[in-house]
Amino acid sequence: MIVTSELVIDVRNVSVRYIIPHERIPTLKEFAIKWLRGRVVWKQFEALSNVSLAVRRGESVGIIGRNGAGKTTLLKVIARVLRPGAGTVSTTGRVVPLLELGAGFDPELSGRENIFLNGAMLGHSRRYMARRFDDIIAFAGLEEFIDAPLRTYSTGMVARLGFSVATDVEPDVLLIDEVLSVGDIEFQQKCVDRMNRFREQGVTFVLVSHSLPTVTNLCERAVWIDNGCVAMDGPAAEVVAAFTARSAGVQPGAGEADAGRSRISA
Amino acid sequence: MLQMVRSAREILKYRTLLATLVSRDLKVRYKRSVLGVLWTMLNPLLMMIVFSVVFAKVFRFTFEHFTIYFLSAFILWNFVSQTTSWSTACLLGYAPLIRKIYVPKAIFILATVLSGLVNLLISLIPLAMIMAVVRHPIHASVLFLPLSILLATVFALGLSLFLAGICIEFNDVVQIYQALLLAWMYLTPIVYPLDVVPERYRWLIVANPLYPLVETFRAPIYAGVLPDSMTVLRAAVWALAALISGWWVFERRSDRIAYLV
């Protein structure tokens, strides 16, 4: 494993606010009425507040935390899916997001066409994908079903195809959100092998997972996100241990609702 | 302006995706068959019959080849109205994708407009057939059509970006726009000649951006002459104005689209 001093992900003082869904003004009619009455207010939920994270080339970072803590939001910010309300994000090299397996797949198209569609979304040309095609289906183990429409695939098969397309090209930065647990044992092992190979080759990855063993196995470093803030950042084993200790001490669910409420502002 | 060049460059980087989106659109529409292509030609044909009967017989428009006069404008109108109304809903259709993966959002609008453009080109075929049937001569002036179509495409893209930017925030604009479209069609001399409009209301028609665009397209087909330079200039100004303002509105919102869909 090679960790250099070069920063590949640099998240600085990032805050992300969501407009709470039922408070969104969805129509021009409502907006006009509220505006005329001078009552245009948006309630917002701060999913990330002032988060900074610097990742060097070759690092493997696991992100842990409770449901709704802001882990996925952080990953989406790094993947440029969400533009933060405040702060800056910069990445270098080819960033491949695996935010949800099957994102960017069209259920009506066949597996074959979906490989090209997904490749196009990652910015690859058709000719390039045609060259990689055999390797992709071989890794996914889907040779027999490649011409069937994707809607006939099982969840596991879609997951395999998604992982296979995304990781076929060696990315500079791989962002993974809780997707390794979908396939069967055999495929999971293939994924872990590929991830380990990436790690040896110096690919940076950021992994969001609720599976603490996965984090300790695959990552050197872990970041614990709590209530939209970085609670702890350090060697994976230590962070996981601290998180486990805290989770064991807190009644499941207690405090979560309060914490959520305190982050809502008008 | 510099920003605009930068986004155009980014879209160019994703040209494979653009091509894939357009071809998927067309596959869905034509169901991968010649019959599907013929089927889409049926719609303008039926419209033509209805309008020809209503306006030629009921209103007794007695000028020559009313059918061609109407149809040459109607397919252009169809292109602008279809692409812009598809664009109002198109981002919502791609919502699962937009929430999970980064791509320049304008690419979805561009793909919608381009697949409408293919539609427009295809509908030139039944138009040519009808012209042959009613023995309306085809002049060399049709060589001007690529420019007319380009202007209409730029205009449609600009308006589509504008509407998509607004509709992502306020989804009732989709319905409002449908109503406006109906009014817009009758404010454009598509089914009637400009000279049936009383003199003092004529400015209203001439100020309509679609009027020069339609004339630029219709003159080479129907009259067999090049459109006059003033009309072309007006069409070009409207097209550019639509593109710049539409792009501006869309770009300002494009960062927030992932939060809104």
Q: What percent of chain A has pLDDT over 90?
A: 15
Q: What is the mean pLDDT of chain A?
A: 82
Q: What's the mean pLDDT in B41-46?
A: 73
pLDDT band at A62 (very low <50, low <70, confident <90, very high): very high
Interface contact flag, B100 A100, Cβ < 8 Å: yes
| Test mutation, B10, B25, B100, B172, chain A, max A CBs within 10 A | B100
Question: pLDDT by residue (tens digit) across B172-200?
Answer: 888 899 999 999 998 999 888 888 888 88
pLDDT in tens, A5-26: 788 899 998 998 887 656 667 7
In a mutational test of the B interface, the residue from A30, A81, A100, A177 whose CB has the highest number of chain B CBs within 10 Å is: A81
Residues of B with CB under 8 A from a CB of A: 13-14, 16-17, 19-20, 24, 28, 96-103, 170-173, 176, 255-256, 258-260
Mean pLDDT of chain B: 86
- A98 pLDDT above the threshold of 50: yes
The predicted model gives B8-31 an average pLDDT of 85
| Closest by CA position to B119, among listed B159, B145, B149, B144 | B149
If you ran DSSP here, which 8-state letter would residue A55 be given? E
Confirm whether the ipTM is greater than 0.85.
no
Preferred mutation among B29, B110, B259 to probe A, highest tally of A CBs within 10 A: B259
Predicted confidence at residue A198, as pLDDT, reads: 84
Q: What is the spatial distance between Cα A180 and Cα A192, in angstroms, rounded to a whole number?
A: 8
- Rounded distance, CA B172 to CA A28, Å? 6
Strand, coil or helix: A58: coil
Q: How far is A75 from chain B (nearest CA, A)?
A: 10
Contacts of B19 in chain A (CB under 8 A): 120, 126
Q: A79: which chain B residues are within 8 Å (Cβ-Cβ)?
A: 101-102
pLDDT score for B196: 82
Inter-chain contacts counted by CB atoms under 8 A, chains A and B: 70
Kindly list the residues from chain B whose CB atom is less than 8 angstroms away from the CB atom of residue A24: 260
Identify all chain B residues contacting A121, using CB atoms and an 8 Å cutoff: 17, 97, 101, 103
Read off the pLDDT of residues A102-145 as tens digits, 9 standing for 90 and up. 677 888 788 898 898 888 888 888 888 899 999 999 988 888 88
pLDDT in tens, A45-60: 788 988 999 999 889 9
Nearest to A104 by CA among A115, A93, A94, A96: A115
Position A203 pLDDT exceeds 80: yes
Contact flag B170-A109 (C-beta cutoff 8 Å): no
Q: Is residue B130's pLDDT more than 90?
A: no
**Contact criterion met (CB < 8 Å) for B100 and A103:** yes
More confident residue, B144 or B203: B144
- For residue A31, what is the nearest residue in chain B, using CA coordinates? B170
Cβ contacts of A31 on chain B, cutoff 8 Å: 170
Q: Are the beta carbons of B123 and B44 closer than 8 angstroms?
A: yes
- Which residues are within 8 A (CB) of B162 and not within 5 positions of it... i.e. 6 or more apart? B242, B245, B246, B249, B250
pLDDT at A41 over 80: no
Cα distances from B254 to residues A167, B109, B113, in angstroms, run: 28, 12, 18
pLDDT at residue A253, rounded to an integer: 45
Hey, are the CB atoms on B100 and A116 less than 8 Å from each other?
A: no
Of B17, B28, B256, the CB nearest to A120: B17
SS3 A192: helix
Whole-model pTM: value is 0.83
Sorting pLDDT into bands at 50, 70 and 90, what band is B58? Answer: low
pLDDT winner (highest mean) among A48-62, B97-111, B152-166: B152-166
| Contact between A120 and B14 using a beta-carbon 8 Å cutoff | yes
